[in-house]
Amino acid sequence: MVMCTYLNDSDYTAPTSNAELNSMLEELKQKTGDDWRLEEEVYEVKRLFRKPKKVALYTLYYHIHSIEFQIINFYRLESETSINVSVSADVMAAFLLGMLADKGAQ
């Protein structure tokens, strides 16, 4: 099932704190000519008797039409649900590298 949302021109256009993901996203935009946007959400996970840990999750959006964007859903083996739109940096990097490899072969 496709998940869509509406975004303004300025939503999620700023670079994230992950420079590697930013460069892969820019390269994907150049190769496809499409509007891809990356959202970063940083959470602080509190742990008992330890310092809190910051966790960043990323969501990828693909422009469809006008202000409508598709939210890219990721398959994750360890997940109990089929809806996994926010993923870690390594999962996002693997997806972006796969897209870049696919677009480079065409």
Signed CA dihedral, 86, 89, 90, 96: sign only: positive
Domains identified in the chain, total number: 1
Identify the pLDDT of residue 106: 57
**50: Cβ contacts below 8 Å, ≥ 6 apart:** none
| C-beta neighbour count of 88 within 10 angstroms | 14
Spatial contact of 56 and 18, defined as CB atoms under 8 Å apart: yes
Q: How confident is the model at residue 105 (pLDDT cuts 50, 70, 90)?
A: low
Number of helices (H) and strands (E) in the chain: give both, helices first.
Answer: 2, 4
Q: By residue range, what is the domain housing residue 9?
A: 3-105
Average pLDDT over residues 85-100: 92
**Nearest residue to 11 (alpha-carbon basis) of 39, 32, 30:** 39
| Between 80 and 12, the higher pLDDT residue | 12
